[in-house]
Amino acid sequence: MKRLLIVESPAKIKTIQKFLGPDFKIMATMGHIKDLPTKEMGVTRDPIALSYVAIDKKEKTIADLCRAAAGVDEVYLAPDPDREGEIIAWHVYEEVKKLVKNPKNIFRIAFNEITKSAVIKAIENPGSIDLKKVAAQQARRVLDRWVGYEVSPILWKKITKGLSAGRVQSVALKIICEREDAIRGFKPEEYWSITGLFKNEEGQIPAPLTNIGKEKAEITSQEQAEKILKDLEKVTYSIAEINDKTRIRNPLPPFMTSTLQQAAYNRLGFSVKRTMQLAQNLYEGITLGDETPVALITYMRTDSLRIADSALVTVRDYISKKFGAKYLPASANIYEKKSTANTQDAHEAIRPIDVSITPEQVKAFAEPAQAKVYELIWHRFVASQMTPANFAQRQVVIKGGKYLFKAIGSTLLFDGFLAAYNDEDDDSDATKDEKVKVPEGFKKDADLNLKKIDPKQHFTQPPPRYSEASLVKELEKEGIGRPSTYATIMNTICAREYTTVDKKRFVPTELGMLVTKVLNENFSHIMNIKFTANMEEDLDKIAAGELDRDKLLNEFWENFEKDLIAFKGTSGRSTQPTDIVCPECKEKKLLIRFGKAGEFIGCEGFPECAFTSNFIRDEATGAITLVEKEKPQTLDINCPDCKKPLREMMGRFGKFVSCSGYPDCKYIQQNKAGFQCPNDKGDVMERKWRGGTFWGCKNYPTCKYALFGDIQETPCPQCQAPALLKKLDPKTNGVALECADKKCGYKS
């Protein structure tokens, strides 16, 4: 019997082929094969219907899959076990069902790990495509298409071209912008801390002042601090209380997608995108000493903390042998995630497939970054099934008159899970407790001498900007999007120039702030965080068969259409107001506007007042400073047309040289190529546009010959074109040459 098994990634083929042998042919879709069209909506409203087309360059993949399916007895669809994988399986089914001998022999299978037992079990228990999951994916796709394709063109008209809106992307940007507003509006407040160093013959201990009488010590000025310091010199000190207790620290659960992203960022400095790619490598398999890849971890896109019983048995046996009986709890640790809008339990948590494959073994064969991610996953999983760590905690209360000082010391009694995994670095934004050493001989009522007093002035700090890790944490907490989409969201808001990244923190640009303001004012529904989170919950209900796809979409459209019509009806371009009075007309306020060359500041009295200026904004306060325009620099070169001096000026696309006699003389200096246009023999000149540099025929628009990018005036060795394009080779970071004629296809 001939069988065909279709997966998403070609990286899985060799591993699975080893499990199944020659009876199976394994092929890959290499991701999605069909999607909505790129140049039109692709969704009809009444009734709701989606028009799918083959993705660019996937026609051959589809043809190859169909050809292979026509010659087999059974087809097994095995894309990844999530909604995106389900829609891929459905698209493949729709293509091959017309060609297979019996469409009933097309099966949907899924496995959470790429092991022989998991793959064979899936084949022995085949199912069918889950149309509820397909409907949930389609609903998400339609919602995103409506928001993107309907709102984005209006943003082009209201602000500037090239902008985009996204149902989840825009809410993530809103979170970043709201944090920036909080930072700009933050007013620092002064406060003081006072720490005493106390000593007797048993030892010494630092302790901060915590209470004055029954009130908490809140010191807000230097005068108040100095008054307290004088009082502290007059009193005697003794140990009022010593409180001992045992503190237990439980292990953290194994990773799910979002927590892996956060820990890899905080511990390893890996971006969310890189972490997911490395985890994908580990899931699909890497070679460990032979030619066949070995899958190392379970599926990495999961919201679940569940662990398979077989894995619990294996890891408990490993802990017992490796660490000893006292590190093994009486029964397995079970973790449950609090139910949120986007909790799914379709998969296990992220764990090593075989805990006996240690990080040290993987390190010998894997790339360093892959080995680090595996080590993180392995240690966290093993630690999650170990006993708690125990600490002896001692609090010493020191009294001097009405003043109370408190110090807390902590001593590790039993390391427990910490023998496998120290979790303190998993959250870089968390505040770590300061630990002090309490002398063993300290007794209640013992006298102490104040050896030193240390007053310090502080100022409250604004909330920090979001890093990738803290933004992931916030998105997950609010139920926004899916962890598997976070990398795409972050890449998009940076690519659209809505944010920049400074010191690994997201900083919204003026454009990002304005887009958020405009969308907030006109689309309160889709910009509402709770509404977006509830939408995720509704998509889950569709996947569970509890909600009809079209009912959700029609209800969304009713509100969305009203906002859309109102937004389209507003007139004028959107701007960002400032409190600065125009220095030219002295009457109107200045506005931040956006043009083809980016943001600038201009008078709201335009066109009566045409004042414009560049500007900079202070990151800490948000204050705007006008930047004087760069004045033209006269050159010691005369214009070849009118003989007046040339001058260097700043234009929309950078500096250029032109005649000082403008507008009478319109000469602009251009670089000329050493070859003529192959179409009409005209001169080929260098020109600039927002996208960079290009070389074009001087006789444009009659002749439209153009080369986009940097060129090397070397004829193509294949087709003899007069120049080659310079391209960056991503493998070597060097320069590669290629022919501009795609039909020729020459590459160096």
| pLDDT at residue 347 is higher than 80 | no
Last residue of a domain, one of 459, 481, 496: 459
Element (H, E) at 550: helix 549-569
| pLDDT at residue 205 is higher than 60 | yes
3-state SS string for 187-246:
CCCEEEEEEEEEEECCEEEEEEEEEECCEECCECCHHHHHHHHHHHCCCCEEEEEEEEEE
Sheet holding 692-697, edge to edge: 672-676, 683-689, 692-697, 706-708
Question: Could you tell me if residue 62 is inside a domain?
Answer: yes
Q: Is the distance from CB of 250 to CB of 421 less than 8 angstroms?
A: no
Say which CATH number the domain at 545 has.
Answer: 1.10.460.10
Token pair recorded at residue 36? 């909505």
Token pair recorded at residue 184? 């700009």
Please report, for residues 260, 405, 654, 693, 695, the alpha-carbon distance to residue 689 in angstroms, rounded to integers and kept in the order given. 42, 67, 9, 6, 11
Omega of the bond leading into 607 within 30 degrees of 0 (cis): yes
- The three-point CA angle 625-628-632 to 5° equals 160
> pLDDT at position 422, please?
87
> pLDDT at position 732, please?
53
Q: Average pLDDT in the 492-517 region?
A: 93
Question: Could you tell me if residue 524 is inside a domain?
Answer: yes
Q: Are residues 262 and 370 in the same domain?
A: yes
Alpha carbons 731 and 748: distance in angstroms, whole number: 13
Q: Are residues 587 and 481 in the same domain?
A: no
742 - beta bridge partners? none
SS3 562: helix
Report the mean per-residue pLDDT for the chain.
90
Token pair recorded at residue 223? 């005068």
| pLDDT at residue 575 is higher than 90 | no
SS3 489: helix
Say which CATH number the domain at 322 has.
Answer: 1.10.290.10
Q: Is the distance from CB of 304 to CB of 483 less than 8 angstroms?
A: no
DSSP letter, residue 419: G
| pLDDT at residue 372 is higher than 90 | yes
Confidence band, pLDDT 50/70/90 cuts, at residue 429: very low
Q: Are residues 446 and 500 in the same domain?
A: no
Q: Average pLDDT in the 283-301 region?
A: 89
Q: Are residues 147 and 124 in the same domain?
A: no
Token pair recorded at residue 433? 């407790």
Q: Are residues 506 and 403 in the same domain?
A: no
Q: Are residues 12 and 123 in the same domain?
A: yes
> pLDDT at position 427, please?
53
The 10s digit of each residue's pLDDT in 374-395 is 999 999 999 999 999 999 999 9
Q: Is the distance from CB of 580 to CB of 622 less than 8 angstroms?
A: no
| pLDDT at residue 90 is higher than 80 | yes
Question: Could you tell me if residue 96 is inside a domain?
Answer: yes
Confidence band, pLDDT 50/70/90 cuts, at residue 432: very low
Provide, rounded to the nearest whole percent, the portion of the chain with pLDDT above 70.
95
Q: Average pLDDT in the 667-692 region?
A: 84
| pLDDT at residue 430 is higher than 80 | no
Other Cβ atoms within 10 Å of 88 Cβ, number? 24
- Nearest Cα neighbor of 157 from 509, 510, 572 is 572
SS3 184: helix
Active site residues: 299
DSSP letter, residue 600: E
Alpha carbons 367 and 286: distance in angstroms, whole number: 9
> pLDDT at position 341, please?
39
Q: Are residues 504 and 591 in the same domain?
A: no
Strands, E assignment, 585-722: 589-595, 598-603, 612-617, 624-627, 633-638, 645-651, 654-659, 672-676, 683-689, 692-697, 706-708, 711-712
Provide, rounded to the nearest whole percent, the portion of the chain with pLDDT above 90.
69
Alpha carbons 560 and 167: distance in angstroms, whole number: 11
> pLDDT at position 428, please?
44
Confidence band, pLDDT 50/70/90 cuts, at residue 426: low
Q: Are residues 382 and 394 in the same domain?
A: no
Q: Is the distance from CB of 295 to CB of 511 less than 8 angstroms?
A: no
Phi, psi values for residue 532, rounded to 5°: -65, -40
Question: Could you tell me if residue 748 is inside a domain?
Answer: no
What type of residue sits at position 362?
V
Question: Could you tell me if residue 109 is inside a domain?
Answer: yes
Q: Are residues 453 and 470 in the same domain?
A: no
Q: Average pLDDT in the 583-611 region?
A: 87
Largest CA distance in the chain: 102
| pLDDT at residue 621 is higher than 80 | no
> pLDDT at position 124, please?
95
Confidence band, pLDDT 50/70/90 cuts, at residue 654: low
Q: Average pLDDT in the 82-86 region?
A: 93
Q: Average pLDDT in the 425-445 region?
A: 69
Question: Could you tell me if residue 622 is inside a domain?
Answer: yes
Confidence band, pLDDT 50/70/90 cuts, at residue 730: low
Alpha carbons 355 and 318: distance in angstroms, whole number: 8
Domain housing 621: 576-627
708 - beta bridge partners? 694
State whether the Cα torsion 365-371-374-380 is positive or negative.
positive
Q: Is the distance from CB of 293 to CB of 11 less than 8 angstroms?
A: yes
Structural domain total, the chain: 6
Q: Is the distance from CB of 168 to CB of 480 less than 8 angstroms?
A: yes
How many CA atoms, within 13 angstroms, populate the side-chain half-sphere of residue 452?
A: 5
Confidence band, pLDDT 50/70/90 cuts, at residue 168: very high
> pLDDT at position 328, please?
97
Q: Are residues 615 and 551 in the same domain?
A: no
Based on its alpha-carbon atoms, the radius of gyration of the chain, rounded to whole angstroms, reads: 33
Confidence band, pLDDT 50/70/90 cuts, at residue 343: very low
Say which CATH number the domain at 35 has.
Answer: 3.40.50.140
What type of residue sits at position 722?
P
> pLDDT at position 431, please?
40
Question: Could you tell me if residue 25 is inside a domain?
Answer: yes
Question: Could you tell me if residue 637 is inside a domain?
Answer: no
> pLDDT at position 433, please?
45
Decide which of 550 and 429 is more confident: 550
